[in-house]
Amino acid sequence: MTETIKNLGEQGLLKIFRQYCSEVVGDDAAPMGGTLTEHQMVVTTDMLVDGVHFSDRTTSPEDVGWRAAAVNLSDLAAMGAKPWGVVMSVGLPSDTTVAWIEGVYRGFSECLRTYGTELVGGDTVRSPIRTLSVTAFGQVPQNQIIQRHTARVGDAIVMTGLHGLSKAGLELLLHENLQEKLLANLKIGNCILSGKALEQAICRYHQRPTPRFDAIALLHKLLKQHNHLKDFPISGMDSSDGLADAIAQICRASQVGAKIFWRSLPIHRAIRILAGDRALDWVLYGGEDFELVLCMPFKLAEPFVHQLPNSAIIGEIIEGNQIDGLEMRSAFQHFAT
């Protein structure tokens, strides 16, 4: 018989939780190590609900856990912060299998470890629907917070990686016929990766997003080289709700417009194959790529994209409130359906 949370009981569930938790859980709150001298704390929180933000159909429990961590860590990276600690509460129906929640904790911890942080506390409750709620704290040196309201006319708009691949991964996981379409079309072309390996790599974009702390580290290196640590001419956010949404939000918050370099906007070949006429739509509105969209002077942006693979300068901040050709709709309207 498959073991469920109901058989396990609360104490059993707590035992599993503790295996993945750094602190001696047992007090009412978890003490956090470290101090904040000359640093500021930032905090972010996300709730993930079964059937809304994840599904057994497309996501293994390990990937659900990884994503729950990565989504929050990406928010910290987007602020220029280093992760300091994370808490996760889970709401579970009694018939949830133990294997599922263990998988979630495993993937969650794996992601935290990869980016140098850990689970410091949490809560486990009964709920009719599987729900994960994650809060992550980070620290960032005073005056080096990346925010979205400080973009300036003349800044380059930089994206740290390709967009549309998370959407492509989701579509591949949902529709078998697309897998065939991809493989058939790749055979015609000249591909370094085998078709199957490419397909898996694309699915991983959806299942295992990568918080871009590497891009922040490179940024700090360049800011130091260019003596820009004090004035810190960087603004931006992550592209969790889509590339178009990120550009639009930065422009709105900074009261500026943007010119997009449409010809320089990279579109992965697999997206052209899978999406056909809608390739640009996937890139702009696909969402959940968890790249960073950063605005900075061109003289910083050029060495930045030179040193960061798959990054690109995709536009420029201009006066006004227009974004040329970009449809100003949000990719996700969570309550519309």
Separation CA 83–CA 146 (nearest Å): 15
Residues 170-209 that bind its own copies (CB under 8 A): none
- Helix or strand (DSSP H, E) at 103: helix 98-114
Least spacing, CB of residue 159 vs its own copies, in Å? 15
Question: Applying CB under 8 A, does 76 fall inside the site for its own copies?
Answer: yes
**CA 223 → CA 73, 215, 255, distances in Å?**
22, 12, 25
Question: Applying CB under 8 A, does 328 fall inside the site for its own copies?
Answer: no
Question: Applying CB under 8 A, does 89 fall inside the site for its own copies?
Answer: yes
Indicate the residue among 252 and 269 with the shorter CB distance to its own copies: 252
Binder among 2, 26, 192, 231 for its own copies (CB under 8 A)? 26
Least spacing, CB of residue 26 vs its own copies, in Å? 6
Interacting stretch for its own copies, rule CB under 8 A, among 38-46, 161-169, 189-197, 294-302?
A: 38-46
Which of 134, 130, 126, 20 is closest to 70 using CA atoms? 134
Residue 51, marked binder = no
**Segments of 93-209 assigned E as strands:** 119-126, 131-141, 156-159
Give the β-pairing of 82-92 and 131-141.
antiparallel
Residue whose pair of structure tokens reads 């959407």 in the numeric block: 167
Question: Applying CB under 8 A, does 216 fall inside the site for its own copies?
Answer: no
Residue 45, marked binder = yes
Residues 123-152 that bind its own copies (CB under 8 A): 123-129, 131, 133, 135-138, 145, 147-149
Indicate the residue among 138 and 169 with the shorter CB distance to its own copies: 138
CA 133-291-37 angle, 5° bins = 65
Q: Please, are residues 218 and 288 in contact by the beta-carbon 8 Å criterion?
A: no
CA dihedral 199, 108, 84, 130 (to 10 degrees): 110
Binder among 63, 155, 171, 238 for its own copies (CB under 8 A)? 238
Which of 10, 20, 21 is closest to 106 using CA atoms? 20
Question: Applying CB under 8 A, does 244 fall inside the site for its own copies?
Answer: no
Binder among 237, 294, 296, 331 for its own copies (CB under 8 A)? 237
Q: Which residue ranges are tagged as binding site?
A: 28, 44-46, 53, 75, 105, 122-123, 148, 238, 240-241, 288, 332
Q: Which residue ranges are tagged as binding site for ATP?
A: 105, 122-123, 148, 240
